[in-house]
Amino acid sequence: MWDLSLRGIDAVLVEQRELAYGTTGRCHGLLHSGGRYVVRDGDVARECYQENQILRRVAAGAIEETGGLFVHLKGDDPDYIMRWTDAAKSAGLPFEEIDLREAYRLEPLLSRDARRAFWVPDAAVDPFDLVMMNVQGAVECGAKVLTCTRVEKLLVEGQRVRGAVLKDMESGEVYSINAEVVINAAGPWAGQVAATAGVHLDLAYGKGTLLIFSQRLSNHVLNRLRPPGDGDILVPAKTVSLLGTTDLAVPTPENPEPTGEEVSSLLDLGEELAPGLASRRIVRAFAGVRPLYNPGEEAGRQASRGFAVIDHERLHGISNLYSVVGGKLTTYRLMAEQVVDIVAAKLGVSDQCRTKDVCLPSLTAAPTSSTKGAPICECELLDKNTLLQAAHHLDRFTPGAFLRSTRLAHGPCQGTTCIYRSALFLYQEKLLSYEGCQEFIKGTLSSRWQGIRHVLQGDQARQLELARGIYLQNLQLGDSKNGL
């Protein structure tokens, strides 16, 4: 949408839930250097590195330049090292071998079974900030955003798409919008959207589970120097760390959930890279679905992480419909550039892509009071004024959007005390009704429960018992869906 807007093309974004609800908001938060894919897919690796360098310039506000280490451990295939270094040289990816003593100085938790270590230009990216920066920039250029709005079907006349039927997921209203062109960028739901126009997209779905630790455990992105597998990347993300991921074929993109087996496996694998990881406090587990476009090819780890732009008129005889599928968060800008190049030509717009040169706007900061009250959320240091300003900055207030924009209930306590406090405050400010307060509390507890129920050990288990006391005994809000 940012690319369309910069070229002066009127655009409307339709999002079925809150912004970044899907795969983007459930990723590892890794801005790839290309090192992970360089042996198997040099083209994808080159794209990742090129986009890595562009995004550091134009989206600096969402990126932390951590750097990354690829670490070869005792027992890993020694022949893979030369394959990796040769492939990196061939693809033009920068890397530098560092002395193990320096590696241990940089990363004290790194396994003493490390045999060699290589620096690469990996970085950490906040996917939520990145999405909001793109949306804010597009809106400032005149684009429109419809959240909590689902595409029920595409409108097709003859062999031409002319718009879509939409449903407001809150009010239930169903209405139509017309469009000269429809870009299907629905991620794992792209196949469902295309099917409403009679088009089949050959997508494979791969569920990836990740763990969030309550502390920042490394300074660099830590990668295993071996063929990509489960549990081989630890990413520092602001004050927390993300360990992942798994890859399990699933039949649909709906409601991906971690399993206890995946959590145990990730911890075992993480222990190999950073011993003691399993004893650290885990805040929650979460899962997302990778939409892999591989017609007739392999699935899972063997599937390409490349992307495809599909002109459905050329392939299926349906005009005005284009799909963009596959890819990585790291290559999102390039994906947009390629599909918008085609759309612009279709619309007779000669403007060239500018997203590689024009910086995304900094996120609009909510005004803050000169006096701070007692925090409603101690984990994230959120007071009433901050929450109120964040609520008023939302184009549509929903609990999910509110939590994502403020990080309320995202800390180690997972909402134990801040959920009921914030619900009361939002009621007092007339942002929630009495019934809305109950829905807010139960809905937030349910979303937190989905993430913590497979990591209940130590401090996190004790935290849940405190939450049970507050919400089950004091507030009488027990529900099998929220874990109380």
Quick check: is 185 in a domain? yes
Quick check: is 370 in a domain? no
Quick check: is 404 in a domain? yes
Whole-angstrom distance, CA of residue 484 vs CA of residue 480: 6
Q: Choose one of 360, 395, 424: the last residue of a domain.
A: 360
Quick check: is 397 in a domain? yes
Q: Looking at the structure, do residues 161 and 82 belong to the same domain, yes or no? A: yes
Q: Looking at the structure, do residues 220 and 345 belong to the same domain, yes or no? A: yes
Quick check: is 377 in a domain? no
Q: Looking at the structure, do residues 356 and 419 belong to the same domain, yes or no? A: no
Kindly give, in sequence order, each residue whose CB lies less than 8 Å from that of residue 127, ignoring residues fewer than 6 positions away.
Answer: 20, 24, 25, 27, 29, 62, 329
Q: Looking at the structure, do residues 302 and 421 belong to the same domain, yes or no? A: no
Q: Choose one of 311, 326, 360: the last residue of a domain.
A: 360
pTM, entire model: 0.91
**CATH code: domain of residue 127:** 3.50.50.60
pLDDT given at position 370: 42
Q: Looking at the structure, do residues 192 and 339 belong to the same domain, yes or no? A: yes
Q: Choose one of 360, 376, 395: the last residue of a domain.
A: 360
Q: Looking at the structure, do residues 209 and 319 belong to the same domain, yes or no? A: yes
Quick check: is 72 in a domain? yes
Quick check: is 369 in a domain? no
The low-confidence residues of the chain, meaning pLDDT below 50, are 366-371
Residue 413 in tokens: 């306590």
Q: Looking at the structure, do residues 401 and 473 belong to the same domain, yes or no? A: yes
Residue 275 in tokens: 């011993």
Q: Looking at the structure, do residues 233 and 355 belong to the same domain, yes or no? A: yes
Whole-angstrom distance, CA of residue 355 vs CA of residue 332: 11
pLDDT given at position 369: 44
Q: Looking at the structure, do residues 206 and 275 belong to the same domain, yes or no? A: yes
pLDDT given at position 467: 82
Indicate the number of domains in the chain: 2
Q: Looking at the structure, do residues 293 and 431 belong to the same domain, yes or no? A: no
pLDDT given at position 304: 65
- List, for residues 335-375, the tens digit of each pLDDT value: 999 999 999 999 999 999 999 999 999 986 544 444 456 78
Q: Looking at the structure, do residues 189 and 284 belong to the same domain, yes or no? A: yes
Q: Residue 129's domain spans which residues?
A: 1-360
Q: Looking at the structure, do residues 211 and 280 belong to the same domain, yes or no? A: yes
Quick check: is 372 in a domain? no
